[in-house]
């Protein structure tokens, strides 16, 4: 079944046809692209904040699942009930998203019970991000402590807003537990500094940057800092550049973000798959509500290089790969079928024991089962055990990403 999917026009999204999301939306519906509008996210799934509908009937996908429970796999229903446990997205990021983290399952239930106006569902939100169409930039997890110490020693303005006591505690920390506690104190002190003090320190550092040598600017990642500070003047989140790892994912590379991992996407296009939730705790780089106390208390303060978040894809055959994050809510597969796979070489996607959603990211094909054409931007729902056999058309390789429950 082909799906029609929701577009989210958040302020940080790329505008008009420059947005992958807008391009996909055009392939997914008949709505015209508005060039000045930001097209931030395409949601594929059943989440109530952006539910997909069946194109042929306009029936919400969730309603279809409730009345056709055999669409879901047996293990999927046993673990998750009669709804899809995952939410699949495409994102087009023009400027940084908020400094954020997602609660674990127990904490999500507590937040939903006590503050449903802010936290809209009781589910956790582990997620996997995969770069598409070139480099994807992000901040992710706390840097090695040695790096953070270096920045605090080199940037007086940053040290001033963190405070002398917290800085000294981090510098003197020797054991891992001491470093973790000192890092918690430093980051919490930063996030709780008055807006006036933060804005003043940011302005002072921005004014000092032009006088630095090229080598010093590079060491202090001034280009990255300036880009973010330009978009979010006076925002405490600008200083997060010096606490969090800066990572650039190349096309097809992925990373997994578990509960309580601080992160912020900065620029580029990506695919995301996550547990079916929209719970986000924010504390910077956003005009939305900043729940600083909750964020600082819940964060994973384990420091280290960003490679610990990277995910590896496993080869199924010459055309298909899969990736299995350490959660049951979702897994992913991707297919790249070359244009040279002509008429005599139809390819059957591996049959899944659970329901799945497919997104066609490039190329054209024909379904051997329905004889219908498939093309860029189409989103398909496959019920558990359903076969899809495709035959490439045209001169482009066919590229498809697939999300499904990982049970």
pLDDT tens-place string over residues 62-74: 999 999 999 999 9
| Runs of H (alpha helix) within 155-194 | 156-162, 164-172, 176-191
Mean pLDDT, residues 167-184: 95
Q: Would you state the pLDDT for residue 394?
A: 87
Q: Would you state the pLDDT for residue 31?
A: 83
| pLDDT tens digit sequence for 279-319 | 999 999 998 889 999 999 999 999 999 999 999 999 999 99
Q: How many Cβ atoms are within 10 Å of 376's Cβ, its own excluded?
A: 18
Q: Is 83 exposed, middle or buried (0-12, 13-18, 19+ CB in 10 A)?
A: middle
Q: How many Cβ atoms are within 10 Å of 254's Cβ, its own excluded?
A: 23
Q: Would you state the pLDDT for residue 341?
A: 59
Q: Is residue 28's pLDDT more than 90? A: no
Q: Would you state the pLDDT for residue 280?
A: 94
Q: Tell whether residue 179 is among the known ligand binding residues.
A: no
Q: Is residue 120's pLDDT more than 90? A: no
Q: Would you state the pLDDT for residue 331?
A: 97
Sequence-distant (6+) residues with CB within 8 A of 10 are 38, 40, 41
Average pLDDT, the chain: 95
Residue 362's beta-bridge partner residues?
399
| pLDDT tens digit sequence for 211-229 | 999 999 999 999 999 999 9
Q: Tell whether residue 127 is among the known ligand binding residues.
A: yes
Q: Is residue 133's pLDDT more than 90? A: no
CA angle centred on 194, ends 192 and 195, rounded to 5°: 115
| pLDDT tens digit sequence for 1-27 | 999 999 999 999 999 999 999 999 998
- Sheet containing 347-348: give its strands across: 347-348, 389-393, 364-367, 373-375
List, in order of start, the domains of the chain with CATH numbers: 2-140+248-293 (2.60.120.10), 145-238 (1.10.441.10), 314-404 (2.60.120.10)
Q: Would you state the pLDDT for residue 344?
A: 58
Q: Is residue 134's pLDDT more than 90? A: no
Percent of the chain with pLDDT over 70: 99
Mean pLDDT, residues 63-87: 96
Q: Would you state the pLDDT for residue 164?
A: 95
Q: Tell whether residue 100 is among the known ligand binding residues.
A: yes
| pLDDT tens digit sequence for 325-380 | 999 999 999 999 998 755 457 899 999 999 999 999 999 999 999 999 999 999 99
Phi-psi category of residue 133: left, alpha or beta, with phi > 0 → left and psi -120 to 50 → alpha:
left
Catalytic annotation, residues: 282
Q: Is 165 exposed, middle or buried (0-12, 13-18, 19+ CB in 10 A)?
A: exposed
Sequence-distant (6+) residues with CB within 8 A of 317 are none
Q: What is the pTM of this model?
A: 0.95
Mean pLDDT, residues 256-285: 96
């Amino acid at each position: 079944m082909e799906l029609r999917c929701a577009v989210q026009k958040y302020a940080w999204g790329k505008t008009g046809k420059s947005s992958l999301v807008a391009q996909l939306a055009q392939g997914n519906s008949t709505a015209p692209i508005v060039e000045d509008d930001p097209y931030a996210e395409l949601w594929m799934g059943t989440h109530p904040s952006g539910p997909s509908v069946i194109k042929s009937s306009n029936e919400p996908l969730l309603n279809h699942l409730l009345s056709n429970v055999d669409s879901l796999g047996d293990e999927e229903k046993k673990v998750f009930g009669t709804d899809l446990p995952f939410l699949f997205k495409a994102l087009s990021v023009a400027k940084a998203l908020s400094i954020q983290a997602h609660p674990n399952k127990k904490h999500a239930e507590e937040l939903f019970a006590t503050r449903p106006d802010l936290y809209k569902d009781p589910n956790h939100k582990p997620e996997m991000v995969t770069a598409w169409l070139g480099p994807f930039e992000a901040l992710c997890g706390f840097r090695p402590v040695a790096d953070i110490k270096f920045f605090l020693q080199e940037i007086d303005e940053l040290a001033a807003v963190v405070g002398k006591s917290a800085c000294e505690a981090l510098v003197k920390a020797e054991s891992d537990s001491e470093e973790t506690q000192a890092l918690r104190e430093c980051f919490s002190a930063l996030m709780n500094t008055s807006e006036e003090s933060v804005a003043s320190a940011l302005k002072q550092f921005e004014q000092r940057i032009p006088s630095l040598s090229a080598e010093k600017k590079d060491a202090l990642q001034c280009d990255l800092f300036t880009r973010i500070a330009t978009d979010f003047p006076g925002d405490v989140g600008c200083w997060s550049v010096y606490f969090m790892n800066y990572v650039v994912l190349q096309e097809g590379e992925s990373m997994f973000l578990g509960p309580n991992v601080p992160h912020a996407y900065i620029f580029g296009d990506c695919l995301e798959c996550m547990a079916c939730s929209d719970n986000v705790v924010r504390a910077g780089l956003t005009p939305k509500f900043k729940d600083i106390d909750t964020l600082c208390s819940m964060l994973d303060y384990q420091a280290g290089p960003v490679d610990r978040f990277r995910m590896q894809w496993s080869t199924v055959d010459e055309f298909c790969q899969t990736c299995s994050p350490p959660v049951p809510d979702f897994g992913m597969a991707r297919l790249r079928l070359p244009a040279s796979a002509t008429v005599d070489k139809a390819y059957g996607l591996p049959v899944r024991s659970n329901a799945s959603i497919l997104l066609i990211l490039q190329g054209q094909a024909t379904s051997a089962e329905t004889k219908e054409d498939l093309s860029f931007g189409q989103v398909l729902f496959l019920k558990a055990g359903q076969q899809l056999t495709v035959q490439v058309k045209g001169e482009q390789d066919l590229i498809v990403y697939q999300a499904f429950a990982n049970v």
